[in-house]
Chain A
Amino acid sequence: MTNTIGCIEKADVILITGSNTTENHPVLSSFVKRAVTRKGTKLIVIDPRRIKITRYADKWLRPNLGSDVAWINGMMHVIIKEELYARQYVESRTVGFDEVKAVVEKYTPDYVEAITGIAAQDIIDGARLYAGAARGSILYCMGITQHTTGTDNVKSLANLAMLCGNLGIEGGGVNPLRGQNNVQGACDMGSLPDVYTGYQKVIDPAARQKMAAAWGVDELPDKPGLKVTQMIPAAYEGKLKALYIIGENPLVSDPDLNHCEASFKKLDFLVVQDLFLTETSRTADVVLPSACWAEKNGTFANTERRVQRVRKAVNPPGEAKSDWQIICEIATRMGYPMTYESSRQIMEEIAQVTPSYAGITYDRIEHEGIHWPCPTPEHPGTPILHREQFSSGKGVFNGIEYIPPAEHADEDYPMYLTTGRLLFQYHTGTMTMRTKGLNEIAPECFVEIAPQDARKYEVQEGAFVDIASRRGSIRARIKVSRKAVAGTIFIPFHYAQAAANRLTNAALDPISGIPEYKVCAVKLSKAA
């Protein structure tokens, strides 16, 4: 997030898109609901499903799946045409305005209505509402990023925010809500194929030299490695021979699972470190038992870039060990001794090699976490990014054209499928499905379908149906719900027995490498 969670309550208008906030970020959603019910903040929700947060919305727009760039361009069209944009901010702090202006020229409300299904007047009203705010905050989640145009969607939201002068101010911002506890930290720490810690690029010779010196090696590889979504096909083609997986369950969470399973079978060697035997670790050659979060010390970075302590409360079961200890022992055996006394000592090394974490120590975050960038021990941290200027000087507008999703409903596969999470389960369920109470409330997979579609396909509440896509099929029970929009079904991806990802499309965003979980074409039939 460019801003903090607390900042949400300071906005005059909040725009939420592609985030089922109350289910996926429940405590954060309370900040939104409090702003609306107690402070008179206006809320715009742009989401196809009738999710709970829409109850609090002043304006709820229902776009067709994968049409985000179009409605965002449409709003910018209105804002520019009606001269509602922050002229001074745009002139002094940004570049590329003319490019955007030229691109959005043709995105008239009527043109956008034809693509998105949102009424032209609603585009106009929504644009006026957002642009009229002194402080406008944008919140988004996987509904924006899990598309072949995910990167375009994100850039478009940044365009919209910059156009209205909402970046770098309290109560504003473009705020991605991270789904997992330490997504932010995993990225910050360089668990990405193209960067070291703090986003220092592996192709930058200076960065490479610095890290090599710090790590005491002669050389470090200079070309970016494979993304996870490239590793799987590389395994399939026989180019990737060994995979080392730490605490992930790709054989439920990855797209197009059937293909993913076939790829895993081709590996020569698979090591998995995990708490449990999962769908993934079951297929491994070696499984190493790791300590869970309650059994070790360390830090997580939350969605607002706040680095917070994790503390050991209990001992791990049996011989299980912290993930870092296991890796250090393997490194040592491979001829590169890695020994640390504690996670604190590792954080000291992180601070040495990472400018944005340089001022963070366990002592400083003992009571409350600090937002990076925090370059020195005296620096208070940075709750709001881009305050005086953008990190790269000027904010850059990108003119972006709408591109339709990779797969379309057709005669054979006439419905759309979109996937997501539920409040009462988490990811692939390896943890939450061990809480009896959660299973009582959310016991099994279901197919959420609009009442009109249920009538059309003559399926009853609770009946089993088969859902098939070009890649696979699953069976689950029908749940008729007004949340669903006609023509589109929703399936939660938590459940391995009826894994929604047997259906999903592995078509990737060309830059982020994120698959299009949110749109694919399916057909529905009554289970035989």
Chain B
Amino acid sequence: MPEQNIIVINGNEFSFELGDTILEVARRNSIDVPTLCHLKGTTPTGACRVCVVEVEGARSLVASCATPAAAGMVVRTESTKVIAARRMVLQLLLSSGNHNCAVSGSAGQNWTEFQLKVQQEEQSAELCPVWGDCKLQDLAFRYQVTAERFSPSQTPYPMETVNPFIVRDFSRCIQCGRCVQACNEVQVNQAIHYGYRGTATKIIAAGDRPYIESDCVFCGECVQVCPVGALVEKDARYRVRPWETKKIHTTCTYCGVGCQLYLHVKDNEVVKVSGVPDVAPNYGSLCVKGRFSYNFINSPDRLTTPLIKENGQFREASWEEALDLVARRLGEIKAEYGPDSIGVLASARITNEENYIAQKFTRAVLQTNSVDHCARL
């Protein structure tokens, strides 16, 4: 039996399970086949054709993300034919919109004209907002292509900025459909779909209306999976460049799902949040709170010093003074009215370690068991 489930990729034999795609077998064995539209865990669409490979005996190249591995298949992932096809796909994609990163081709006259046009449309003197964080740019570099071979096409649809969280820039959309898969098959919010036909194709929400007027719940899954700069967090757009930030892996502070997320930090400030891919429990998904509600960290309303109330008014105090006061008053009340006259409310918001310390303090120092938290409220 096992011999039948063998496929040859680039001259090496690999075993596979029934139902595996060529791409899955290749990736599992560290063979790097590039993809754009493929989104793990969703139905393959075969939309972009970047993942094409050569299969011996097949009449044309096949999309490895959508083709099941079959016994005896002989596959080449980087043959001359494959590379030529990928270059062609990438060149077409690059010239399909405002892909004004340097790889578009910085040599010729056209570049300057094109760049001016984009800058005017965007009212920004910078290059693409996801420069350095774009799969198309990476692949163009890998396959050494520019957009110059085809004349740039017109931008058919204006940018959408009317919601608080996500900018939809159709001029950079390569119609890979990952956002559609993410919204419908991963988060199952069913807010966006393919609309119109042919060159007019557009990803639409609710009969081509803005996100805010659709079923969109601003989970931002679509932003996270968009390989290019077509969907970008509004607050991070042009503000956050990947090489200026560091990513800290932590746990969401809101509900009990406990999503794993990255805090993107620039100059001691959290400037963006993204889901940690491939890790339980959320495998990269987040909701609107986890992804977009981090402004409170840096709020000017944050307390920065201890406060002591005098005659009904708060005044700032040093830690020394405040801690002394608290320790003294708790000691007095305990002595006068007994340990059970004091209660402590720890919290479902703070860490395990802090809860541990709070109850240890209540029990060992205050000598009462009156410690609880408001979780059930």
Spell out A's residues near B (CB within 8 Å): 4-6, 22, 24-28, 30, 33-34, 37-38, 145-146, 177-194, 196-197, 202, 211, 215, 217, 219-221, 223-229, 231, 234-235, 239-250, 253-255, 268-269, 271, 274-277, 284-290, 292-296, 298-304, 306-315, 317-324, 326-331, 333-336, 338, 340, 343, 346-347, 349-350, 367-369, 423-424, 426, 430-432, 434-438, 440-441, 512-515, 517
A320 partner residues in chain B, CB cutoff 8 A: 302-304
Instruction: For chain B, residues 294 to 311, give those with C-beta under 8 angstroms from any C-beta of chain A.
Output: 294-299, 301-309
Spell out B's residues near A (CB within 8 Å): 163-165, 185-188, 212, 217-219, 234, 248-260, 263, 265, 268-270, 279-282, 285-290, 292-299, 301-309, 314, 319, 322-327, 329-331, 333, 337, 339-365, 367-377
Out of B234, B260, B265, B294, which one reaches A308, CB within 8 Å? B260
Beta-carbon contact of B354 and A181 below 8 Å: no
Name the residue on A nearest B363 (C-beta): A220
Out of B251, B299, B323, B337, which one reaches A302, CB within 8 Å? B251
A37 to B181, CA, bound (A): 13
Beta-carbon contact of B346 and A246 below 8 Å: yes
Beta-carbon contact of B354 and A322 below 8 Å: yes
A338 partner residues in chain B, CB cutoff 8 A: 357, 360-361
Beta-carbon contact of B296 and A292 below 8 Å: yes
Beta-carbon contact of B256 and A38 below 8 Å: no
Q: Give chain A nearest CB distance to B75 CB in angstroms.
A: 28
Interface centre among A25, A185, A303 (most CB of B within 10 A): A185
Beta-carbon contact of A244 and B374 below 8 Å: no
B329 partner residues in chain A, CB cutoff 8 A: 242, 269, 285
Beta-carbon contact of B256 and A183 below 8 Å: yes
Out of B285, B327, B342, B356, which one reaches A330, CB within 8 Å? B327
Beta-carbon contact of A349 and B361 below 8 Å: no
Q: Sorted from nearest, which 4 A-B pairs have the closest CB atoms?
A: A318-B304, A302-B258, A437-B164, A298-B351
CB within 8 Å for A302 and B256 given contacts A246-B345, A309-B249, A338-B357: yes
B252 partner residues in chain A, CB cutoff 8 A: 181
Q: Give chain A nearest CB distance to B275 CB in angstroms.
A: 9
A321 to B319, CA, bound (A): 10
Total number of residue pairs linking A and B with CB closer than 8 Å: 451
Q: Give chain B nearest CB distance to A409 CB in angstroms.
A: 24
A257 to B256, CA, bound (A): 25
B259 partner residues in chain A, CB cutoff 8 A: 27
Interface centre among B248, B299, B341, B372 (most CB of A within 10 A): B372
CB within 8 Å for A26 and B303 given contacts A308-B260, A327-B361: no
A369 partner residues in chain B, CB cutoff 8 A: 258, 280
Beta-carbon contact of B331 and A319 below 8 Å: no
Q: Could you list some 5 contacts between A and B, CB below 8 A?
A: A27-B257, A181-B349, A183-B375, A228-B374, A435-B292
CB within 8 Å for A191 and B358 given contacts A302-B258, A319-B305: yes
A185 partner residues in chain B, CB cutoff 8 A: 348, 351-352, 355
Q: Give chain A nearest CB distance to B337 CB in angstroms.
A: 5
Beta-carbon contact of A253 and B377 below 8 Å: yes
CB within 8 Å for A308 and B348 given contacts A190-B356, A285-B308, A346-B353: no
Name the residue on A nearest B331 (C-beta): A334
A346 partner residues in chain B, CB cutoff 8 A: 353, 356-357
A316 to B302, CA, bound (A): 9
A229 to B377, CA, bound (A): 9
Beta-carbon contact of B345 and A215 below 8 Å: no
A225 to B372, CA, bound (A): 9
